Structure 1
Amino acid sequence: MKRIPIYLAALAAAFLCGCSAVRHCKSPELNLPETLSPDQTDSTTVADVAWWRFYGDAALCDLIERTLAANKDMLAAAARVERMRQLYRIDKASRLPVFSASVYANRETNDYYEKPFSNDPEMGAKASVSWELDLWGNLRWAKRRGGAEYLASVEDWRAMRMTLVAEVATAYFELMALDNELAIVRRTLETRREDVHQAKLRFEGGLTAETVYQQAQVEYATTAARIPDLERRIRMMENSISLLAGGYPGGEVRRSGLALNITMPDSLPVGLPSGLLQRRPDVRSSEQQLRAAMAEAGMAYADRFPRLTFTLTGGVENSELTGFFRSPFSYVAGAIAAPVFGFGRRQAKYRAALAAYDEARLAYEKKVLEVFKETDDAIVTYRNVRRTAELNVTLRDAASKYVKLANIQYRGGNINYIDVLDAQRRYLDAQIGLSNAVRDEHLALVQLYKALGGGWTMPDGGRK
């Protein structure tokens, strides 16, 4: 009967150990739905469009670029990626031999009581190499853990890009909606000023009662009181955008106007569930964290078995310079360190690692559920705000006609002035409502794009 070479037996044991290490690690249970949207079954998705083409607005794209380049959280995420990359290099290098060298000289003298004086000089130059034989996969699992943690940091960095693009776009559209509202209120204030002037002339001419004049003044003051609050909100939104872009408050935020006559599509391609998980960097980060937890369980399992280390040291050593290079020195050692009795510490460590894996697995499953909820919410929201915007256009047009008719009837003496004011209020609210509805369309589009995983890609050449 032939004897199996010891190194083959060691490799077989290491393989079996690697399989046994994670046999208790349960795979995630996802049970993905068949589609993201009932009316779409293909893989086409709007998230595949680069963000600078998706938004198109030059001012917004410039603002996003500045934010991605200077945002403090973005820079910190990039620094973390570099840190994890260097730590991964350490984990990979741990599987390789360690080489070291030293040159030394020392002189020891002894003059003990009633002993002859002794002089013991020593000089040497040595090089050594040590290597741990990875029998049970401890170092391999460590490398896998380091690689997963590094990739998770990269995905976190990408997820932050995706989030920042959405945050900047959201703040930008909210700012333009506030600009629109302020412009509407100022135009309305000019109309109110003219109404006050006309009401005063009619009152002084004895054509109307003082009540009408006071009503006009109240309406003017009510409209004017809106302006300071809108100016405050605009300044605060500009400061928020400056903070995102890594700047101090007070900086100018260039923007274009929020057009109210743009018709957006009723629906957009959203792709398939499997593609969603591949595009979302936060999901991929959670998956890499799950891989790291599995590797941690493998390390804890392998830590229960002996470790075998070899050391080889060679060089020259002598007590004098004469013949120094003709005095070779060598030292070979092998050591095996094995846990003997640790009161269950290593077993408990392994079980804790398995529990940590289960925790990461459940966190991954929850992340997938959250992503699908976010996506479905974004799809439903976009469809409904489209309908709301169409209804607000109808409301704005009807309110405009209502104001014209009310003015005609008031001049003809058919209705009271309070009816005219009611028509003007409704028209003002309808204009602001339409502006906000268009804003909500843009915000819903931003959230849908983000939910589908758009906004984090960046080619090497930058924005074209």
Structure 2
Amino acid sequence: MKQIRSIIAALALLPLLGACSAVRHCQAPELNLPETIVPGGVDTLTLADMEWWRFYGDSTLCTIIGRTLENNRNIRAAASRVEQLREMYRIRKAERLPSLSLGAVADFETNDYAGEASKRDPEFGLKATIGWELDLWGNLRWAKRKGEAEWLASVEDERAMRMTLIAEVAAAYFRLVALDNELSIVLQTLETRREGVAKAKLRFEGGLTSEIVYQQAQVEYASTATLVPDLENRIEITENALCLLMGTYPGEEILRSGTAPAVPSSGSLPVGLPSQLLRRRPDIRAAEQQLRASMSSVGMAYADRFPRLTFTLQGGWENDALSGFFRSPFSYMAGQLASPLFAFGRKKARYRAALAACDESRLKYEQKVLEAFKETDDAVSTYRNVRHTAALKAHSRNAARKYVELAELQYRSGSINYIDVLDAQRRYFDAQIALSNAVRDENLALVQLYKALGGGWQSPADPQ
């Protein structure tokens, strides 16, 4: 009895010993995280703490984002992959449990051999079979862990795609609003130039100015008019891009209100801590799960080098006639210990290949972390600079508008030539376009910063 207990205890320890030995050659990631994401940043909060439907306060934009998340084919394919790997994980879990099968057989065999009388050999059977593999070396447990890691990685991949799609939709929307604003500026300027042409014509026909002033006015009007077709084409292309993201065909009307997102004050740009970035960005979490899956593959390859112990228990009824069938029970029990004798190094090579794949996944994870910090630092720097640029462009636009007003007054009083008025109008037009583009770039930079910090993957059903 004592000997049996010793054997049972040894069998219980074997999986633990195998699990420890399996991944002992796998190297842990070396991150050496900095103390802050950006120099001087010690925030405990981050922009990404805001859900996307609160961060993008524009209800029209939120409606477009909602339609995209519902209808975009790529995000739906990613959701299907999550479901696929979730079911595969359930299979891996079930493989650790005994299997039960039930079979019924009825056959009638006739043998008529040379020199012997004809024989008939009927057989009827109803059999239940239970099979179970004792997971001595953790092969099935490692397979379960791998399936779980692959499933969780697909969940994070789907979230990363959701985050990317939201950023793409927001960026396209703000580009579209900027193009609308630019077209409005061009049309307003075109109307001003049309009035200028009419006034220049009257003054020329009245003999107050030379023909050159009239021709200059026409040139300015024509050069402004050439901008309209290009802007209309760019607007249509951007609308088509949004239609594609929403999963619809081109031509659908895209509503927009032009409201900017909630921009933080100039003295406050919360970016969070390095550890928060690792926890929040789904692409980093996906790379981490892929590393865990690779480590599980190492465990599987290690366990596959050792014997497998399986048990089979079969029972039921079997008879050569239906009469008395249920009075003919039978049972069968067997155990099998299978181990390769000569694999010519194949299993050892598979184990080494799994170790190399694990090392590859580790390096990819480390690279993903480095890329995330680089993207975040770039996004912070870009946003701060474009915001400062937008403030300067606003000042330049205001000065150019005052310049036009003064130039027109001096032209009416005869102090300056009409060419000076046109120059002032050109400067004001350029300043308006520059400010519109600066506001667009500020919005785009904020979108990129929000995405770089890991914001945008949330849905009301997702845990934080």
Q: Does residue 1:118 correspond to 2:122, yes or no? A: no
The reply on whether 1:265 has 2:281 as its aligned counterpart is no
**How far has the Cα of 1:461 moved from its partner?**
10
Distance in 2 separating the partners of 1:263 and 1:43: 18
Structure 1 pair 294/395, CA: closer, same or farther in 2 (3 Å)? Answer: same
Aligned to 1:11: 12
One-letter amino acid of the counterpart of residue 250, structure 2 = P
Equivalent position amino acid for 1:244 in 2: L
Distance 2:375 2:429 in 1: 34
Matches within 5 A, 1:428-439: 428-439=429-440
> 2: CA distance between counterparts of 1:177 and 1:97?
64
Q: In the superposition, relative to structure 1, how do residues 232 and 275 fare at CA in structure 2: closer, same or farther (>3 Å)?
A: same
C-alpha distance in 1, partners of 2:40/2:58?
Answer: 29
State the match for 1:456 in structure 2.
457
Distance 1:73 1:302 in 2: 37
| Match of residue 327 from structure 1 | 328
- What is the letter of the counterpart of residue 255 of structure 2? R
Deviations 1:268-295 (A, max 9, x none): 2111000111011110000000000000
Root-mean-square deviation (CA, aligned residues, Å) is 1.7
| 8 Å contact kept, 1:22–1:298 | yes
> 1:355 maps to what in 2?
356
Write out the 4+ residue segments of structure 1 that deviate beyond 3 Å after TM superposition: 1-4, 37-40
Once residues 51 and 71 of structure 1 are traced to their aligned partners in structure 2, the CA distance between those partners, rounded to angstroms, is 17
Residue by residue over 1:249-277, the C-alpha shift from the partner in whole angstroms, topping out at 9 and shown as x without a partner, is 011111103579x9752132111000111
CA distance in 2, matches of 1:71, 1:446: 20
Q: What is the DSSP-based 3-state SS (H/G/I as helix, E as strand, rest coil) of the residue aligned with 2:127?
A: strand
Q: Separation in 2 of the partners of 1:272 and 1:155?
A: 21
1:105 is paired with a residue whose SS is: strand
Taking the aligned partners of 1:70 and 1:119, their CA distance within structure 2 comes to 65
> For 1:285-312, what per-residue CA distance to the aligned partner results, in whole angstroms no more than 9, with x for missing partners?
0000000000001100111111111111
Shift, 1:382, TM fit: 1.1
Output the CA distance in 2 between the equivalents of 1:14 and 1:360.
25
How far residue 5 of structure 1 moved from its aligned partner, in angstroms, is 2.1
2-structure distance, mates of 1:213, 1:96: 92
Give the 5 Å matches for 1:104-183. Answer: 104-183=105-184
Unaligned runs of 5+ in 1: none
Q: Distance in 1 between matches of 2:259 and 2:331?
A: 80
- Percent identity reads 67
Distance in 2 of aligned mates of 1:327 and 1:141:
43
Specify the alignment match of 2:317 in structure 1.
316
CA shift, 1:207, in A, is 1.8
Please list every run of 5 or more consecutive structure 2 residues that lacks an aligned counterpart in the other structure: none
Equivalent residue for 1:192?
A: 193
1:40 Cα deviation after fit: 3.2
Instruction: Give 3-state SS (helix, strand or coil) of 1:89's partner.
Output: helix
Note if 1:343 corresponds to 2:344: yes
Partner of 2:392: 391
The 3-state SS of whatever aligns with 2:34 is coil
Contact 1:177 1:258 in 2 (8 A): no
User: Partners of 1:151 and 1:258 in 2: how far apart?
Assistant: 37
Q: What do the CA deviations read for 1:32-63 (whole angstroms, capped 9, x no partner)?
A: 11012334313111211111111111101111
Instruction: Report the Cα distance in structure 2 between the residues aligned to 1:305 and 1:259, rounded to whole angstroms.
Output: 63
Structure 1 residue 240, shift from structure 2 partner: 0.6
1:356-376 CA distance string (max 9 Å, x none): 001000000000000001111
Alpha-carbon distance between aligned partners in 1 of 2:310 and 2:214, rounded to the nearest angstrom: 98
Contact persistence 2:297–2:354 (CA under 8 A): yes
Question: What do the CA deviations read for 1:330-380 (whole angstroms, capped 9, x no partner)?
Answer: 111111111111111111100000000010000000000000011111111
Q: Which residue of 2 aligns with 1:90?
A: 91
- Residue aligning to 1:286: 287
Cα distance in 1, alignment partners of residues 406 and 359 from structure 2? 69
Corresponding position of 2:54: 53
The amino acid that maps onto 1:441 is E
Contact 1:46 1:449 in 2 (8 A): yes
Q: Which range moved further: 227-236 or 195-204?
A: 195-204
**Residue 384 of structure 2 aligns to which amino acid in structure 1?**
R
Q: CA deviation at 1:410?
A: 2.4
Residues 402-448 of structure 1 deviation map (CA, whole Å, 9 limit, x = unaligned): 11122222233333322221111111110011111111111111111
Quick one: which amino acid aligns to residue 374 of structure 1?
E
SS of 2:42's partner is coil
Does the C-alpha gap of structure 1 residues 247 and 410 become closer, same or farther in structure 2, counting only changes over 3 Å? same
Paired residue secondary structure (2:341)? coil
Q: Are the aligned partners of 2:174 and 2:258 in contact in 1 as well (CA < 8 Å)?
A: no
Distance 2:150 2:8 in 1: 32
Between stretches 401-410 and 174-183, larger displacement belongs to 401-410
* Residues in 2 aligned to 1:21 and 1:452: alpha-carbon distance in whole angstroms: 36
Paired residue type of 1:400: R
Distance 1:212 1:428 in 2: 20
**Deviations along 1:43-91, whole A, 9 cap, x unmatched?**
1112111111111111011111111111111100100000000000000
Match status 1:214 vs 2:245: no
User: What CA distance in whole angstroms lies between the structure 1 residues aligned with 2:430 and 2:47?
Assistant: 34
Instruction: Indicate the residue corresponding to 1:295 in structure 2.
Output: 296
Counterparts of 2:291 and 2:352 in 1: how far apart (Å)?
16
Report if aligned partners of 1:180, 1:258 keep a CA contact under 8 Å in 2.
no
Q: Alignment partner of 1:251: what SS?
A: coil
Q: 2:410 and 2:108 mapped to 1: Cα distance?
A: 116
